[in-house]
Structure 1
């Protein structure tokens, strides 16, 4: 078995904490394969072009780190990836900025990174690229001579073809994505959207439920719903750090029921709608005044982008208005914290929360939903209120599934969750916990890599797809 070669926009090199579940999962995948290469942006922005790589080694893993210039960071990362692809893929075409210069920068970085990574590969390697930053990078690797197994996983949604075609460069992106042997998506809906786009716009021939012939290549598309380390989260929720966090919030809210939301501050997460729904529930049920508190944790992100600054202002206004109207001397209905907390603290907060609100307008998967379930006390579990537009809704059928645009419906779901009998809470939680544990992060990575390994054995010989065609 050859090495595993991974590329992600950010890596977790030696000496840096692996805070996220994905970073840990990829590190574990490299360890299981006996080592390999992890390639990505160093996080450094330089004044002048640095064409080479900085190499670091930890055990059997080589970390290959590439810097970005200020211009590349502006066009590739802030520009095309986050001002164009992110909003379009989350069905917010109205927020997208279509800038030819930004796409040119995105294309240039994908070309440079693809050539750099191709230069690190060996003939028996398996290459796995991650996320929307690298849609064109696989094609550049093909042009640079890499003809081995090449896989890609998209962590965010893939939109309906009618939305994807809003991108002026959609045909170029699709041809780039067709350079991969295996494309993995979060949900069956995402997979179907991509396949339908190829059939309707690229004259793809459907070979079976997974494979298509397009651009003179065989491309395989599958759903691999990412999970969490459920056992780790369950253990974390009963550890001393979590207990301390639970005790701290308990001293603040006393005997009140806790409703919790934890999200990066992003317009895709539906945070204003969530606050409005909680406020509406309190308006409709004044008997709950002083008896329930909503804790929303929302660490800021991408603060230099206008849409994110506007979102923060809106959340400040909404939470302030609700608190000003109905708070009392000893009760604050909404505690809105624009900062992040460690996973051990969050585990403790999840465990004591009677209701978990995960209500994005659109999301690839949303692992907070799974973390909330894994952290629960089996004898007295909370209730998950989940958006139908979160990828997790495909697996988590016994949550209270809502439409995040329906404020009245969400308010009703929060009220129902707060009053749900213990037997029903246990029954719903057991089904959710089984789904989270059976489709965990190890299941995800092993499933993808097994399918990618199989492409070496079963796929037809493919010709490189020429860049820019």
Structure 2
């Protein structure tokens, strides 16, 4: 077994689901998300990624991706149902997103969550060199840091939560709250997207564990666990390069032509998830059409909804509701050859996404709650022409950094409608000024800056950050 000095542990491997076991693995990427964030760093760094390959059954042997070693963890059908679909995505996910959907507490799911976390911890312990750094990712694996510390106390262990970390009054609802908290605090460094996450953790550590805790450090069992905010970002250079490619520029023009050369193209790119505010957005857009504030095909909305967690019942029902609503809106307000909404429930490659970003006058990013939202940053990076407008939810982590966007409360439909109109009606000078400020922010705080900041906090010698980011 080959070992690595840097090990990333995440629920999913960053590979295409259809990659043959004896073939060449390719990066599996969707808009935003963990793989999108870490792609550029780990594609060129000697490291090992531990994760589930997709599908039920034993762990397959998979080839490396460039210099990145791939180590698969197998999950049974029952574990997928109880650990992944159950505790991770029906208990933790909704609760961590302000209980937008009611979380489900099922005692049988906890055992599967523990068992799966043990398997990931065992795999990480196996592939980590003595004294290696292990970077554990996200809510699926909150028990792994403590489990790994029991197995390998020699390791430097980081944990990063990509989703929001809830306030104490929500977290306290969890039946296994203390175990989950201790699991996270097995790390040397716990990172969040926003400072509020570290504040919430400190409050919970004091209340549940009697720990001495501040927003920057928690003392527990003779150890000091450091905490902090590290807003995740994107590979700005990659997106700018894509947006400058002649074929992508031509494709952007073709998209506008295919849409009928409307005056305004509104674009939304989301995973199909109830936290993304898609239904609220459709309602607001429908009311704008109803009231005559916008008219099809003079204005069109392109809604990309990337398939997500299709095995989970909530998500299948959400897809049905959205598709019915899109059909209703197009039936009432569309024209022959000119629908009011172009709805695409599919994945797109990076070049096509860049073309969509270039074609859009307004990107509408209105989640009800989001850890960061990298799609917003991708749009800003792609707009090297300095044009375009971003409508951004106040409840997305990106709103803290991109405060020159048209910020909106997506729960307030009147505010959402007014903000959409303001973005569409903004002058060229206003769009340019807002975009210039956002581009400065995104360029200065790209994925390399995020990785350097986190890894330097994990290893204050600076050697780890230098080995990964150069």
TM-score, normalised by the number of residues in structure 1: 0.90
Give the corresponding residue for 2:267.
260
CA contact (8 A) 2:203 2:213 kept: no
- Among 142, 145, 158, the alignment partner of 1:138 is 145
* Alpha-carbon distance between aligned partners in 1 of 2:61 and 2:108, rounded to the nearest angstrom: 28
Deviation at 1:408, TM superposition (A): 1.0
Q: Give the CA RMSD over aligned residues.
A: 2.3
* Alpha-carbon distance between aligned partners in 2 of 1:138 and 1:27, rounded to the nearest angstrom: 23
CA contact (8 A) 1:56 1:63 kept: yes
Bigger shift: 432-441 or 192-201?
Answer: 192-201
* Alpha-carbon distance between aligned partners in 2 of 1:61 and 1:252, rounded to the nearest angstrom: 40
SS in 1 for 2:453: helix
- Among 284, 292, 300, the alignment partner of 1:285 is 292
**1:180 paired to 2:187:** yes
Q: 1:438 to 1:169 in 2, by over 3 A?
A: same
Bigger shift: 393-402 or 142-151?
Answer: 142-151
Give the corresponding residue for 1:164.
171
Give the corresponding residue for 1:5.
7
Give the corresponding residue for 1:193.
200
Q: 1:347 to 1:140 in 2, by over 3 A?
A: same
Give the corresponding residue for 2:52.
41
* Alpha-carbon distance between aligned partners in 2 of 1:330 and 1:404, rounded to the nearest angstrom: 30
Give the corresponding residue for 1:337.
344
Deviation at 1:328, TM superposition (A): 2.4
Q: 1:258 to 1:61 in 2, by over 3 A?
A: closer
Give the corresponding residue for 1:308.
315
The 5-angstrom pairing of residues 354-369 of structure 1 reads 354-369=361-376
Task: Please list every run of 5 or more consecutive structure 2 residues that lacks an aligned counterpart in the other structure.
Answer: 16-23, 464-470
The 5-angstrom pairing of residues 122-137 of structure 1 reads 122-137=129-144
The 5-angstrom pairing of residues 22-421 of structure 1 reads 22-23=34-35, 26=38, 28-30=40-42, 35-46=46-57, 50=58, 54=61, 56-57=63-64, 61-92=68-99, 94-206=101-213, 209-256=215-262, 257-286=264-293, 288-379=295-386, 381-421=387-427
Q: 1:398 to 1:93 in 2, by over 3 A?
A: closer
Deviation at 1:59, TM superposition (A): 5.9
Q: 1:61 to 1:248 in 2, by over 3 A?
A: closer
SS in 2 for 1:3: strand
For 1:122-178, what per-residue CA distance to the aligned partner results, in whole angstroms no more than 9, with x for missing partners? 222111111111100111112213332100111111111111111111111001111
CA contact (8 A) 1:278 1:411 kept: yes
- Among 6, 27, 35, the alignment partner of 1:17 is 27
CA contact (8 A) 2:157 2:189 kept: yes
Give the corresponding residue for 1:461.
none
Q: 1:375 to 1:28 in 2, by over 3 A?
A: closer
For 1:324-383, what per-residue CA distance to the aligned partner results, in whole angstroms no more than 9, with x for missing partners? 22222353211111122112111111112111100000011000111111112435x111
CA contact (8 A) 1:294 1:334 kept: yes
Q: 1:245 to 1:103 in 2, by over 3 A?
A: farther
Give the corresponding residue for 1:422.
428
Q: Which has the higher contact order (CA 8 A, sep 6+)?
A: 1
CA contact (8 A) 2:73 2:119 kept: no
* Alpha-carbon distance between aligned partners in 2 of 1:305 and 1:161, rounded to the nearest angstrom: 27
Task: Please list every run of 5 or more consecutive structure 1 residues that lacks an aligned counterpart in the other structure.
Answer: 458-469
For 1:296-337, what per-residue CA distance to the aligned partner results, in whole angstroms no more than 9, with x for missing partners? 010221122221112112112221222222222353211111
* Alpha-carbon distance between aligned partners in 1 of 2:459 and 2:43, rounded to the nearest angstrom: 16
* Alpha-carbon distance between aligned partners in 1 of 2:287 and 2:368, rounded to the nearest angstrom: 18
CA contact (8 A) 2:7 2:47 kept: yes
* Alpha-carbon distance between aligned partners in 1 of 2:342 and 2:454, rounded to the nearest angstrom: 40
TM-score, normalised by the number of residues in structure 2: 0.90
Deviation at 1:36, TM superposition (A): 2.9
* Alpha-carbon distance between aligned partners in 2 of 1:196 and 1:416, rounded to the nearest angstrom: 39
Deviation at 1:252, TM superposition (A): 2.5
Count of residue pairs the alignment pairs up: 449
* Alpha-carbon distance between aligned partners in 2 of 1:191 and 1:96, rounded to the nearest angstrom: 23
